[in-house]
Amino acid sequence: MLPSKVFSQIKYCANGLNYRKNSVIASVLEKANVGDSTEVKGWVKNLRVQKEFIFADVSDGSCAQRLQILIPKSLKTDSLSFGSSVHITGKLSKSPRGQVELVAENVKVLGDCVVSDGYPFNPRTSHPPEYIRQFIHLRSRTNYISSILRVRNSVSKYIHDFYSSQKYLNIHTPILTSNDCEGAGEVFKIQPDSEETVKAMMQEGRDKDTVYFGSKTYLTVSGQLHLEAICRGMGNVYTLGPTFRAENNRSRLHLSEFYMLEAELAFCDNLELLQDHIEDLLKYVYRETRNTNEADLCLIDKENSNTPDWLNKSFITLSYDEAKIILEKKKIASTEEGLNKEQELALVEYCGGVPVFVVKWPKDLKSFYMKECPEDSSKVDALDLLAPITGEIVGGSLREDNYDKLKSKLPSDKLHWYLELRKFGNIPTGGYGLGLERLLQTMCRVTNIKDTLPFPRWPHNCSM
């Protein structure tokens, strides 16, 4: 039992107020009572000087809306400027237009901001994303990035809500691993940096690559194989965590470090079950986020004010062979196998902007763990979900659960443990991975993936 004093502090914080009555703007706007004494701390986004008052729009990051502060000219300090951080106390009131505002009684500038000293942003200016991206350490001050990060926060909350409502267990899969799940050779290798440690451990008779863990160790490219291990003991599971790919790809859709949502569905022996589940997840997360973050979505891109058609339509399914025929008709077929980005986006357009599952892929194009189609052994029960803006956002499959078939495709003896999962109390499972950043690109209409997370990493860029 918590002591009552601590408990009352917690209750206070749950209302968005800390113990010293300093409020976050989101809570002030939610339950504003005219006449209430209130304190806010935040950054000045805009200043307008009028006859008797200075009007300052202050944001503290808690919501897209800014709180308008009326500052009597007698309280003006010289360092109060666009970009400065402030602590303001006063009384809540309503503007003639019915908006909540704060009439300041005390104004303290906590940190000044002199634009001519090199601050890269200007008031009332919409800077292009390419410009903002040059100032990664300062870009949370912009509307564009702060709105995207608030949407990202909501999306991850609703993802957890969705799985929790379906009784899935959230499993923390490891970041360090000895397997290259996808087998595409896009792993980053892990070694101690300290020469002393390496030297000492090599004396124990190991080589440089395996010196620390005793086996080659990488940053994970996917938690799937670990999820499969837990799924075969505990049922439905998911994970949402950092994932790493050492691709030499600087496209607007690739990162070296991204967040992947992965789920593994127990007793799943049918690709359609997996597809329905993915569709339900995406529609739930999208609807909830639109409800809570409408203002953010509109600040990111005005077109986000229109609800996308597909939210009320069923996703489409095409087999890989059907997709290839459509591309031939559209005259964008290629001799290469698989689908390139142009082809993925053309298929989405062909489907009227509705996300489309491409299923039943040639075995040679997909990973070793995917289940052979019962009706055609040259194909696997795999799916890619293609969406507007990004093309592929989800990759998944039924998992090969036949011990002998899996054994014949196993890429390395080191995965004997994965094979053994099929030996004891085996069950059919299916699962998928969804790139969180690509989902945000589709949801928010963000062209470049580097704007969907606070600190993007891509080849030649890991500066902070």
Q: How far is the CB of 418 from ligand 4AD (least distance, A)?
A: 12
**C-alpha distances out from residue 67 to 32, 84, 120, 362, 413, Å:** 11, 15, 23, 56, 61
Q: How far is the CB of 249 from ligand 4AD (least distance, A)?
A: 7
Please state the length of the chain: 464
Q: Are 433 and 260 in contact (CB under 8 A)?
A: yes
**C-alpha distances out from residue 421 to 205, 233, 270, Å:** 32, 10, 20
**Residue 396, binding choice from ligand 4AD, Mg ion, none, Cβ under 5 to 8 Å by partner class:** ligand 4AD
**Residue 394, binding choice from Mg ion, ligand 4AD, none, Cβ under 5 to 8 Å by partner class:** ligand 4AD
Query: How far is 209 from 221, CA to CA, in rounded Å?
Result: 18
- Closer Cβ to ligand 4AD, 43 or 244, answer by number: 244
Beta bridge partners of 316: 356
**Residue 224, binding choice from Mg ion, ligand 4AD, none, Cβ under 5 to 8 Å by partner class:** ligand 4AD
- Closer Cβ to Mg ion, 58 or 382, answer by number: 382
User: CA gyration radius for the chain?
Assistant: 26
- Closer Cβ to ligand 4AD, 355 or 435, answer by number: 435
Q: What are the CB-based long-range contacts (under 8 Å, 24+) for 150-153?
A: 150/61, 150/63, 150/64, 150/293, 150/296, 151/289, 151/293, 151/296, 151/297, 151/300, 151/440, 151/443, 151/444, 152/436, 152/440, 152/452, 152/453
**Window contacting Mg ion (CB under 5 A); options: 109-117, 192-200, 297-305, 391-399:** 391-399
The H-assigned helical ranges of 263-354 are 271-292, 294-300, 320-329, 341-350
- Closer Cβ to ligand 4AD, 144 or 361, answer by number: 361
Q: Are 293 and 151 in contact (CB under 8 A)?
A: yes
Q: Which residues would be at the binding site for ligand 4AD (CB under 6 A)?
A: 181-182, 222, 224, 245, 247, 254-255, 258, 260, 262, 392-396, 431-433, 435, 437-438
**Residue 393, binding choice from ligand 4AD, Mg ion, none, Cβ under 5 to 8 Å by partner class:** ligand 4AD
Going by C-alpha positions, the residue among 372, 366, 368, 370 that lies closest to residue 399 is 370
Q: How far is the CB of 440 from Mg ion (least distance, A)?
A: 17
Rounded to a whole number of angstroms, the distance between the first and last alpha carbons of the chain is 43
3-state DSSP of 27-49:
HHHHCCCCCCEEEEEEEEEEEEE
Contact with Mg ion (CB under 5 A): which of 83, 223, 395, 456? 395
Contacts of Mg ion in 239-258 (CB under 5 A): none
**Residue 429, binding choice from Mg ion, ligand 4AD, none, Cβ under 5 to 8 Å by partner class:** none
* Both tokens assigned to 129: 């994303």
- Closer Cβ to ligand 4AD, 88 or 229, answer by number: 229
Q: How far is the CB of 4 from Mg ion (least distance, A)?
A: 54
Q: How far is the CB of 276 from ligand 4AD (least distance, A)?
A: 16
Residue with token string 């803006």: 389
Going by C-alpha positions, the residue among 295, 282, 394 that lies closest to residue 64 is 295
**Residue 324, binding choice from ligand 4AD, Mg ion, none, Cβ under 5 to 8 Å by partner class:** none
Q: How far is the CB of 254 from ligand 4AD (least distance, A)?
A: 4
Site map (CB under 5 A) of Mg ion, residues 350-389, x = contact = ----------------------------------------
Helix 436-444, helix 271-292: angle, nearest 10: 60
297: Cβ contacts below 8 Å, ≥ 6 apart: 147, 151, 289, 290, 304, 305, 443, 444
**Residue 308, binding choice from ligand 4AD, Mg ion, none, Cβ under 5 to 8 Å by partner class:** none
- Closer Cβ to ligand 4AD, 175 or 201, answer by number: 175
Q: How far is the CB of 354 from ligand 4AD (least distance, A)?
A: 18
Q: How far is the CB of 225 from ligand 4AD (least distance, A)?
A: 8
Residue 433 binds Mg ion (CB under 5 A): no
Going by C-alpha positions, the residue among 434, 425, 377 that lies closest to residue 401 is 425
**What is the contact surface with Mg ion in residues (CB under 5 A)?**
395
